[in-house]
Structure 1
Amino acid sequence: MTPPLRDLVRTVAARHEGRATQGFVAGKLRADPMLPALLAMPPLGRVVDLGCGRGQLALALLLAGRADSITGFDLDAEKIARATASATGLPARFVAGDLAAIDVPAGDTVLLIDVLPQMPHDAQHALLARITAAGPARIAIRSFDPDRGWRSAVGTSLERLRRWMGADLGRGGRVAPLAMADIAQPLESAGYRVSITPCWGGTPLPNVLILAERS
């Protein structure tokens, strides 16, 4: 049985070191509509989390009993170290690596949350191809829809500000979201049934959830 969301958030945050990090993790999980969306899905099995950051979403899925194991990747080695420390005793492995170059391991569910728009278009297409080649039963992608009018304008401005402030150190370049059709097409061609729904919660952002499942 999945624990109440506030209890789950408190448990995940307590596994991280430092009050500042605990506060960030708790605030992120409470405000992010991605966690409730994933908790509402059928069991996720072996999860591959691409762009896992500090691992808070992965840990929440494990502690809620929605994932059997987690393999997470992120470019930021410091975040990977924090994720590893917070996952002590859990079936989780976190690896520092560039998503533009790693081999995507086999799993039942692949998560790709807020990653694609940070990559050049050719790298996005290549990553999607490597994910579908790995053959998961489910792929959950949150991306930035460039065709949501004022939301897209606000999101683009905020991303530019984040980069100017150094929040995405190491990514570089411009924000380059693909059109939703350009993400859905390779997934559908690989045999997935694709749905696209809003996933912005109470924010003004143009985030959407692209869910691809095997027919």
Structure 2
Amino acid sequence: MKYRIAIAAWLAITATATPGHAADPRYPDWPCTQAKVPEISLAAVWAGPPLDDVSGKWKDDAKVSALVAKLAARRTPLEEAQKAITEYLSGAADKTASGKLLFAGLFESLNAQRSQVMNGLERVTRKQREAADKIRADTLALQALQSETPPDQAKIDDLGNQLVWQTRIFEDRRNVIKFVCEVPTAIDQRLFTLGRTIQQEIE
């Protein structure tokens, strides 16, 4: 009976959209309903002075590098990050130069963080596709074993238990994917908010 439930669960899985059914053919492994935007556009998150003259230079300043790491970490509450920006820039000799340096670091760091998350989502999607193929094959094999006369109950039990476990892992991963799909958008919003805080301080 429990193996019939496993088969029913698998049929339910295949009836819904499995990861890899991407809306955009350019990104076949993208599992999220949100459109994939590979990189954050600078113009979308920064309306301050040009950053061309400070690109990459933020890494040479130990204080800025440490602050960027703290601000970019999602475990740092947004309000705490905004307060740290205000405190840093209020003591800067050149607010504009310091603000540009700080945002350049944030932009580079959060874009890289976002890319890591998105690459991870696509890796998991590929694993899900492989898992789906395995579950499908095992489901057919289980049905064949159950049709044999006489049935080999030991083999049925082994394969049935394996199928139950595989289906559970598949579902757990799918739930994780739904959660992680929200992360790139959260990173976008964090960068926009922190960029706005920096701009307000240097205006």
TM range (shorter): under 0.3
Higher helix share: 2
Which has a greater percent of strand? 1
By relative contact order (CA 8 Å, sep 6+), the higher-ranking structure is: 2
